Chains A and B, each alone.
Chain A
Amino acid sequence: MSSTTKRSWTASARKRAVGALPPEKLLPDSQPSYMSSWIYVFGVLTLTALIVIIASGSILALKGPGWWHFTGIGHFFNSIHLWSVELFFFFMVIHLWGKYWMAAWRGGRARVWMTGAVAFVVAVPCALTGYVSQQNFDAQWISTQAKDGLNAAGVGAFFNVTNFGQMYSYHVFLLPLAVVAIVIAHVLLVRKHGIVPPFQLSDRGALLASASKADPEPVPPRDPSVGNERARDAVSGKAAP
């Protein structure tokens, strides 16, 4: 490596990026066997719904309110956009429940959990600004209700939900940009730290590791029911203090 390469910020950024996320980790061709459960599907379902939201929303933004209110194809894309949002939140809430109950912040995954939580929190106003940008009676009703809520919370001076121009620019630019950026960070962190294992597997691994430190004999890495008795007893809760 030449001295020029060493000083280059692009080379150092590349080195750090590849070090943090080598290609085989970024785009793996296999997944851990513990992911053979439907509960692990809801993250990617949420991502799929987000892609449909962005695609249908881009078409709606290109064509404008006259198109989505008064043409058949406009109604169709309007409905695609609405129902993909409904599914996005449906899948995201189940994903959230699943990850909460398996304590997905374990094993140094705190940033994975936090980016997921922030993505959820940012997605809520992204949806709200969409509902108030519909330019119909539904939007009027929601915006006047939301106005009272925001005024009561003391932030009415910053967000005027009855201002279509302000809400529309929040909805089609600022908030989607934030959601997509946070989701990308979330997915990259998932790839970096790996999918969180179920409690049983991670606890068993930790117990086996501690047992192997205390015991000079080799510990069978896979099946605690054969071989190392101490590790097996530790897993089953029979270990001496």
Chain B
Amino acid sequence: MVAAIFNLSHPANTVHWHFFLMSVSNVVVIVVMLIVFALAILVPFPGHRGKERTK
């Protein structure tokens, strides 16, 4: 049996602030989604020539 890359033999680490309680892994996934969403809007698409293409 191959061991996991990360040691998973412990309770999950959580982010707890007032009413907010979420595992670190879920917080990381949500933050990555927000970053990818921002990049998808901001990063130019290959071959895109700005306003010329919309004409």
Task: Please list the residues of chain A having a beta carbon within 8 angstroms of any beta carbon in chain B.
Answer: 33-34, 36-39, 41-42, 90, 93-94, 97-98, 201, 222-223
Q: How far is the CB of A234 from chain B (nearest CB, A)?
A: 18
Tell me if B43 is interfacial: C-beta within 8 Å of chain A.
yes
Bound together, the chains give a CA A42 to CA B40 distance in angstroms of 9
Q: How far is the CB of B2 from chain A (nearest CB, A)?
A: 9
B37 neighbours in A (Cβ, 8 Å) = 39, 94, 97-98
Tell me if B53 is interfacial: C-beta within 8 Å of chain A.
yes
Q: How far is the CB of B31 from chain A (nearest CB, A)?
A: 12
Question: Does the CB pair A37–B33 fall under 8 Å?
Answer: no
Bound together, the chains give a CA A38 to CA B44 distance in angstroms of 8
Bound together, the chains give a CA A42 to CA B33 distance in angstroms of 12
Contact among B32, B36, B40, B55 for A37, CB-based, below 8 A: B40
A42 neighbours in B (Cβ, 8 Å) = 40
Task: Please list the residues of chain B having a beta carbon within 8 angstroms of any beta carbon in chain A.
Answer: 29, 32-33, 36-37, 39-41, 43, 45, 47-48, 53-55
Contact among A33, A39, A90, A223 for B40, CB-based, below 8 A: A39
Question: Does the CB pair A33–B53 fall under 8 Å?
Answer: yes
B40 neighbours in A (Cβ, 8 Å) = 37-39, 41-42, 94, 98
Question: Does the CB pair A34–B54 fall under 8 Å?
Answer: yes
Question: Does the CB pair A36–B33 fall under 8 Å?
Answer: no
B32 neighbours in A (Cβ, 8 Å) = 90
Question: Does the CB pair B33–A201 fall under 8 Å?
Answer: no
Kindly report which residue of chain A lies nearest to residue B48, judged by CB atoms: A36
Select the residue from B39, B40, B47, B55 with max chain A CB neighbours within 10 A.
Answer: B40
Contact among A36, A98, A201, A223 for B45, CB-based, below 8 A: A36
Bound together, the chains give a CA A33 to CA B37 distance in angstroms of 20
Question: Does the CB pair B29–A38 fall under 8 Å?
Answer: no
Bound together, the chains give a CA A93 to CA B47 distance in angstroms of 26
Bound together, the chains give a CA A34 to CA B43 distance in angstroms of 14
B43 neighbours in A (Cβ, 8 Å) = 38
B41 neighbours in A (Cβ, 8 Å) = 37-39, 98
